[in-house]
Amino acid sequence: MKSLPLIALLLIAVFFSTTTQAVDKVPSSGEIDAIESAYRSIDDLTAKFTQSTQIELLARTVTKHGLFQFKKGGKLRIEYKDKGGKYYVSDGSTIWTYVPGDDASLETFAVNDKTMPKEALSFLNGFGKLSKEFSISATASFDAIPANSAAMRLTPRAKNAQYEWLDALFGPDHLLKELVVKNRSGNVSRYTFMEIKTNSSLPDKLFTLSSGKATPDTLPE
C-alpha cells in the first residue's frame, strides 16, 4: 500500500463571538487542556469547509468546498463537493480515495506509522496531545480572534513531517474553526470550518467501502 496523500493528512491533522482580542500571545496550558478535553468528549464530528490554497509555483489561489466527517476509532470521511471532487474514506485501518463514479480512480492506503506521520495518527485517534506532538507558539495568521478563543502555531516535533507548520484558531467551544497550513513546497492552504455538529451518532457505514468499487454514496447534509 502507498502512503496517504498530503491533503488528507492536513485535514486530519489532526478539527464565535463579535468582540476581539490580541493574538500575539502563546496559549496557556489551561487553554490547551480545554481543547484536548473538548475533543476527548467527542464521539463524532461533521463540518462543512472551504479550502483556499495559494499555489506558489503558479502564483494563483484555488478554492474548494467540502464536507468533513470524523468518528472515534480513526474513522474519517472527506468529500470535495466541486466538480470532479475526490472522496477520502477510512475505517481506521485503511483509507480509500476515489472520484465518485470513476472506479479506475480508486486507491488504497494503509493506516500505520509507516505510511502516516505520528501526529496525524494521534489526531485520528482523538486529537492527541498537542504539546507532545507539536511545539506551540504564538501566530500572526489571524488579524483578530473572537473572545474566549485561542490561536496558536503548531510546529511538528517529528523531523519527517510533510508540512512546516499549522496555524490553528479554536473557538469558544474549543473546536477548530480555522486552519492555515504551510507545506514543504511553499504552498499555503487556509481551511474554514462551518456548521460544526458533534455527537450525531454517525453510522459506521459512512466510513467504509462496502464493495471494492468507487461508487458514489449519498451523505446527509
Q: What is the 3-state secondary structure (H, E, C) of the chain?
A: CECCCHHHHHHHCCCCCCCEECCCCCCCHHHHHHHHHHHHCCCEEEEEEEEEEEECCCCEEEEEEEEEEEECCCEEEEEECCCCCCEEEEECCEEEEEECCEEEEEEEEECCCCCCCHHHHHHHCCCCCHHHHEEEECCCCCCCEECCCEEEEEEECCCCCCEEEEEEEECCCCCEEEEEEEECCCCEEEEEEEEEEECCCCCHHHHCCCCCCCCCCCCCC
Domain 6-15+18-202: CATH superfamily is Lipoprotein localisation LolA/LolB/LppX (2.50.20.10)
pTM confidence score:
0.76
Q: Residue ranges of the domains in the chain?
A: 6-15+18-202
> Could you list the pLDDT tens digit for every one of the 221 residues in the chain?
454 454 455 555 544 222 333 345 778 888 888 888 888 888 999 999 998 887 766 667 788 899 999 888 888 898 998 877 889 898 888 889 899 888 898 988 887 766 665 555 555 554 557 777 788 899 888 877 888 899 999 888 877 777 788 888 999 999 889 988 887 777 788 889 999 999 999 999 999 986 444 444 433 33
